[in-house]
Every structure is written in structure tokens, then in C-alpha cells.
């Protein structure tokens, strides 16, 4: 069984035998995600995180299904690998009975959120990813603020911080490829943000 570990920025995702002897404890700066227990009041938020990572994986698959751009596909492959690691971590910490019942919807919505802008070209995708990841940054930040003073929840805090750090890198990667947004770009960013907000609202409850 693979052990998904958290360190500075979720860079590790490896089998135990690649990094540590079988009987060794995880290194001090690494945490086994399977050891994380979610406080009851955080379950809805983590459910929305899990749903969001499902959607994120599908966003990049949607881009890759539509785009022929080498640059854009390279961008999507790179981000997809990170989102797949995030999803595995969320699946490890959140029991399946706590998953959103709307996962197929999040997958379809994510796929369309990637595929439709990809029909219009790389700039539309980067604008979309910039908007999604800006929202996700704030969404993780709210949870991190909630956990900040709970020392007992430190592993979950670190996991969320590491995920947030990756999402910020995704946002900066996308927006760094663009100039200032046009009025259409601003309107699209607002629409994506509202859609993300509605998704989180529903996923945390259903
Ligand atoms: Fe993610
Ligand atoms: Fe991301």
C-alpha cells in the first residue's frame, strides 16, 4: 500500500520502501495522511475539499481532451499530477461514506470547466484556472484559519497548508502567463468564482 506523505508543498508521494525502512516511523517533517483524523466540525469543509479535488482532476482531463496545444497540454499535465496527489490524500483522510453524493456532477462540471475554455485557446484556460485557484486559495485559507489554534489538529493543518501552497502556485502559473484581464475576462473570472462558491456550498452539504 502506498503511503502519501506531506512535507513542504506535498512534494513526496512515494512508497515507504523508497524512502524509509519498513518499520521506521515517518520522518519528523512528514505525516502519514492516513493518521489524520478530521474534527467533526471540519467534515463538511473537507468533503468540499475532496469534491473540489475531484473537480480539479476533471478540469485538467477536460483540457487535455480538447486541446492540441503543446504548451497548454504541458501546463495541464503538470497541474494534473498535483491534483491527483491532492485527491489521493483527501481520499485517505475522508471516509468514503463522507464523500459528496454529487461526485459525478463535480466531475462533469470540472471537465466542462476545463474543456470549454480550451475550445477558445490557452488564454481562456489560464484565465479560468486563475479564477478557480484564486477561489480555492481562499477556501483553504478559511479552513487553515479555523485550525490555526488547534494544536491537536496540526497534521490536518499542515496538509491543508501544503495543498493551499500548491493551489497558489497553480494560480500564479496560470495568471503569470496572462496580461491584465479584459472586461470579458473579468466577467468570466467572476462567473467562475461564483460557480466555485456554489459548488463548495453544495458539496459541503450533499
Ligand atoms: Fe488541488
Ligand atoms: Fe490546483
Question: Distance from the CA of 87 to the center of ligand 2, in angstroms?
Answer: 11
Structural domain includes residue 96:
yes
Residue 145 half-sphere exposure, CB side, CA atoms within 13 Å? 6
- Distance from C-alpha of 104 to C-alpha of 110, rounded to nearest angstrom: 10
Contacts of 158 (CB under 8 A, 6+ apart): 6, 31
Q: What is the pLDDT of residue 137?
A: 96
Q: What is the pLDDT of residue 22?
A: 37
Structural domain includes residue 31:
no
Question: Distance from the CA of 116 to the center of ligand 1, in angstroms?
Answer: 20
Question: Distance from the CA of 163 to the center of ligand 1, in angstroms?
Answer: 6
Q: What is the pLDDT of residue 155?
A: 85
Question: Distance from the CA of 156 to the center of ligand 2, in angstroms?
Answer: 18
What is the residue range of 63's domain? Answer: 41-203
- Distance from C-alpha of 19 to C-alpha of 16, rounded to nearest angstrom: 5
Structural domain includes residue 185:
yes
Question: Distance from the CA of 23 to the center of ligand 2, in angstroms?
Answer: 33
Asked if 89 and 112 touch (Cβ cutoff 8 Å), the reply is no
Structural domain includes residue 157:
yes
Range with lowest mean pLDDT among 9-13, 60-64, 168-172: 9-13
Which residue in the block uniquely carries the three cell numbers 502559473?
A: 173
Question: Distance from the CA of 119 to the center of ligand 2, in angstroms?
Answer: 20
Structural domain includes residue 4:
no
Q: What is the pLDDT of residue 39?
A: 85
Structural domain includes residue 28:
no
Range with lowest mean pLDDT among 25-29, 56-60, 65-69, 104-108: 25-29
Question: Distance from the CA of 83 to the center of ligand 1, in angstroms?
Answer: 4
Nearest ligand, CA 53:
1
Question: Distance from the CA of 50 to the center of ligand 2, in angstroms?
Answer: 12
Q: How confident is the model at residue 100 (pLDDT cuts 50, 70, 90)?
A: very high
- Distance from C-alpha of 159 to C-alpha of 33, rounded to nearest angstrom: 8
Question: Distance from the CA of 151 to the center of ligand 2, in angstroms?
Answer: 26
Q: What is the pLDDT of residue 122?
A: 95
Structural domain includes residue 2:
no
Residue 102: CB atoms within 10 Å? 17
Q: What is the pLDDT of residue 153?
A: 59
Q: How many domains, in total, are found in the chain?
A: 1
Q: What is the pLDDT of residue 180?
A: 87
C-alpha cell at 132: 478557480
Asked if 83 and 167 touch (Cβ cutoff 8 Å), the reply is no
Nearest ligand, CA 140:
1
Structural domain includes residue 148:
yes
Question: Distance from the CA of 23 to the center of ligand 1, in angstroms?
Answer: 31
Asked if 204 and 144 touch (Cβ cutoff 8 Å), the reply is no
pLDDT in tens, 131-163: 999 999 999 999 998 888 776 558 888 899 999
Q: Answer whether residue 21 shows pLDDT above 80.
A: no
% of the chain exceeding 90 in pLDDT? 62
Question: Distance from the CA of 170 to the center of ligand 2, in angstroms?
Answer: 5
Question: Distance from the CA of 38 to the center of ligand 1, in angstroms?
Answer: 18
C-alpha cell at 142: 478559511
CA distances from 160 to 7, 97, 202 (A): 11, 21, 20
Amino acid at each position: 500500500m502506498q503511503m502519501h506523505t506531506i512535507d513542504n508543498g506535498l512534494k513526496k508521494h512515494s512508497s515507504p520502501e523508497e524512502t524509509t525502512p519498513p518499520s521506521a516511523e515517518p520522518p519528523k517533517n512528514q505525516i502519514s495522511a492516513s493518521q489524520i483524523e478530521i474534527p467533526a466540525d471540519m467534515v463538511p469543509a473537507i468533503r468540499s475539499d475532496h469534491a473540489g479535488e475531484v473537480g480539479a482532476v476533471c478540469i485538467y482531463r477536460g483540457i487535455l481532451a480538447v486541446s492540441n496545444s503543446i504548451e497548454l497540454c504541458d501546463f495541464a499535465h503538470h497541474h494534473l499530477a498535483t491534483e491527483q496527489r491532492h485527491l489521493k490524500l483527501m481520499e485517505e483522510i475522508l471516509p468514503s461514506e463522507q464523500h459528496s453524493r454529487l461526485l459525478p456532477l463535480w466531475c462533469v462540471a470540472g471537465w466542462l470547466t476545463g474543456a470549454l475554455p480550451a475550445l477558445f485557446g490557452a488564454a481562456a484556460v489560464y484565465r479560468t484556472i486563475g479564477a478557480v485557484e484564486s477561489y480555492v486559495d481562499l477556501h483553504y485559507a478559511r479552513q487553515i484559519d479555523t485550525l490555526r489554534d488547534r494544536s491537536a489538529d496540526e497534521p490536518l493543518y499542515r496538509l491543508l497548508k501544503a495543498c493551499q501552497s500548491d493551489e497558489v502556485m497553480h494560480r500564479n502559473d496560470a495568471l503569470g502567463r496572462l496580461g491584465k484581464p479584459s472586461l470579458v475576462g473579468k466577467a468570466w473570472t467572476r462567473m467562475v468564482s461564483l460557480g466555485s462558491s456554489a459548488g463548495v456550498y453544495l458539496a459541503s452539504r450533499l
